[in-house]
Structure 1
Amino acid sequence: MKRTFLALVLGIAVLAPAARPATAAEPSLTIGSTAPALDIEHYFHEKDQKVTKFEDGKVYVVEFWATWCPPCVASMPHLAKLQEKHRKDNVQIVSVSTEDVKTITTALAKPHPTEEKPMAEVTENYTLTCDPDGSVSQDYMRAAQRNGIPCAFIVGKTGVVEWIGHPMSMDDPLNEVITDKWDRIAFKKAFDRERIEQEMMQKFNQLTRTGKFDDARAMIKDALAGAEEQADKDMWQGYLHRINLMQGTISDEDLAYFRNDLKQAAGDPIAVYRAASNLYGAARGTDSMKLLADDLIKAMNGAMDDAEPNLQVAFYARIAYINADLKKWDEAEAAVKQAMDATTSTRQKQGLEGLLKQFEAAAKADQE
């Protein structure tokens, strides 16, 4: 329940349970690739402009979503605002689901969890579609080896893919593509580095999950020895710190590294949440948590005011789990109650109520 609730509040919904192996071939669709033409079966709004080919000089966002994906639904108001803001800039946002027409039509009639209107009305500013045969998803998601939604592809004025990522993080890249200030080469370099890191992370997680910390450390040291750029060296060094964190053998140097990681994320609520969540996941259940807990909670509280409502719920829930890990039950229960106050989703509130009961029962058991 812990992993599911927090993942659905903010992150991505996983499309395929099996991750690709670390030796997988290069993706056939990446930054700088010509964007495949769209062959979409159904458009939901009468005023939607159908897209079959990408017009020169126009910018497109091709976003993949589903009705069963809470982060996708949470992104809808943001996409609507982006479309309204950039309509004058010749931008068209096209959201594609692989679900059937009936499923989506039924969902669109329901109220949006954070807006006081139906989802059909929330999404009317941008192009909402479905492609049940999955051909568009095949051309984009599978070709780019992306396993989670929501996922957005920015297609630039020359018809090539400029950016790939979470739609809640695309405001600045989209602005730069529109104004011809986007550095595609620099982004591709960072994007490819991230892909390599994800492949290594998969192997790293396999080793650490089975307690093979020495093997994991040896693998990272080999990668560090072969790294040429400082950014890569810094990345692999971070993994070595992480191993110490997971083993509960954290040093002052490790602690300083993680505190700096949180400091670097400050100012970006999503980055703060991800950094804090990664550190929590590695430290929970170990002595390291006792040393890092205050820093994690302080970072999330510091980002709270600038976070969107769903992210605030995620912050409070994460703070609750940190306190629960330390058996600070009063603080854990208080954070859950704050999350309940922050959410407008009945489903989330029900999940939080169940979590509160779990904490209350655990606190009672500790007292006996």
Structure 2
Amino acid sequence: MKYFICFIIHVLIAGMSAHAQGYYLDEGEKVALYPDVEWIKGRGFTAFDSSRIYIIELWATWCKPCIEAMPHLDTLSTKYRQNIVFIAQSVMEDDIKKVRSFIENRWPHYTLNFAFAGGSGSDFDKKWLKPSGTSVLPRTFVVMNNTLVWITTPASINESVVQLLLSGKFTINAAMKLQKGGREVLLTQIIE
């Protein structure tokens, strides 16, 4: 029994050590380059512009909550596309033809920028999904001033949060308070 416990402890320590040496992508991390993806619709880019705000929605054709969130994201994109780059980033799928067809048939008039990352082992998977610990969808990344400022879900992205981003007064705490109520009072205090 002692040997078994020692073995388990050894495996855990080795695993934590190997994990600690890896690259992590978390809130507050600087990001300069966008992973290598194939742009299906809209304007593609390879590097973040520090003067722009990016809202990156991770989705897949098999993810019902992702698909249900898309109209809301497109509404925000239509309204704020002059100030914010909205990206619908397909992930965790290998078949680009299927994704392209899905977009063309389901969302032909959407203003979002659509990109295909590919499945496991893709550049996006290696540089964003695994380092951020993303294993479930939908997931939203918000980038501002070349910094990943928030990892959240599409339900958290609303008009009030967009206004915080545009005013330059965004913090995760302020955004979370907006989710819990008191939107008008808190937003007025933050923007003033």
TM-score, normalized by length of structure 1?
0.39
- Residue 39 (structure 1) aligned to one of 19, 35, 39: 35
Could you tell me how far 1:62 is from its partner in structure 2?
1.8
Partner residue, 2:190: none
Q: Distance in 2 between matches of 1:266 and 1:54?
A: 32
Q: Distance in 1 between matches of 2:48 and 2:164?
A: 19
* 8 Å contact from structure 1 (residues 31, 161) kept in 2: yes
- 3-state DSSP class of the match of 1:43? strand
* 8 Å contact from structure 1 (residues 30, 144) kept in 2: yes
Whichever of the two has the greater Rg, that structure is: 1
- 3-state DSSP class of the match of 1:137? helix
- 3-state DSSP class of the match of 1:44? strand
Q: Distance in 2 between matches of 1:75 and 1:137?
A: 22
Is 1:161 paired with 2:148?
yes
Partner residue, 2:135: 147
Is 1:128 paired with 2:114?
yes
Could you tell me how far 1:36 is from its partner in structure 2?
5.1
Q: Distance in 2 between matches of 1:108 and 1:178?
A: 28
Q: Distance in 2 between matches of 1:137 and 1:36?
A: 17
Q: Distance in 2 between matches of 1:36 and 1:139?
A: 12
Could you tell me how far 1:174 is from its partner in structure 2?
3.1
Is 1:170 paired with 2:145?
no
In the alignment, structure 1 segments of 5+ residues that lack a partner are 1-22, 110-117, 191-263, 269-368
Equivalent AA in structure 2 for residue 119 of structure 1: R
CA deviation vs aligned residue, 1:95-120 (integer Å, no higher than 9, x gap): 222322111123235xxxxxxxx423
Partner residue, 2:106: 119
Q: Distance in 2 between matches of 1:83 and 1:44?
A: 17
Q: Distance in 2 between matches of 1:178 and 1:267?
A: 19
Could you tell me how far 1:134 is from its partner in structure 2?
2.2
* 8 Å contact from structure 1 (residues 154, 174) kept in 2: no
CA deviation vs aligned residue, 1:154-178 (integer Å, no higher than 9, x gap): 000x100111110121223332122
Q: Distance in 2 between matches of 1:174 and 1:139?
A: 26
Q: How does 1:1-368 map to 2 (within 5 A)?
A: 25=20, 28-35=24-31, 37-45=33-41, 48-88=42-82, 90-98=83-91, 99=93, 100-109=95-104, 118-121=105-108, 124-132=110-118, 134-156=122-144, 158-171=145-158, 172-183=160-171, 186=173
Equivalent AA in structure 2 for residue 126 of structure 1: L
Q: Distance in 2 between matches of 1:49 and 1:106?
A: 18
Partner residue, 2:13: none
Structure 1 176/266 Cα, relative in aligned 2: closer, same or farther at 3 Å? Answer: closer
User: What's the RMSD between the two structures over aligned residues?
Assistant: 2.9
Structure with the greater relative contact order (CA < 8 A, sep ≥ 6): 1 or 2?
Answer: 2
Partner residue, 1:294: none
* 8 Å contact from structure 2 (residues 57, 88) kept in 1: yes
In the alignment, structure 2 segments of 5+ residues that lack a partner are 1-15, 184-192
Structure 1 78/40 Cα, relative in aligned 2: closer, same or farther at 3 Å? Answer: farther
Q: Distance in 1 between matches of 2:71 and 2:46?
A: 25
Could you tell me how far 1:266 is from its partner in structure 2?
7.7
Q: Distance in 1 between matches of 2:182 and 2:62?
A: 31
Q: Percent sequence identity over matched residues? A: 23
- 3-state DSSP class of the match of 1:149? coil
Could you tell me how far 1:37 is from its partner in structure 2?
1.5
Q: Distance in 1 between matches of 2:162 and 2:131?
A: 22
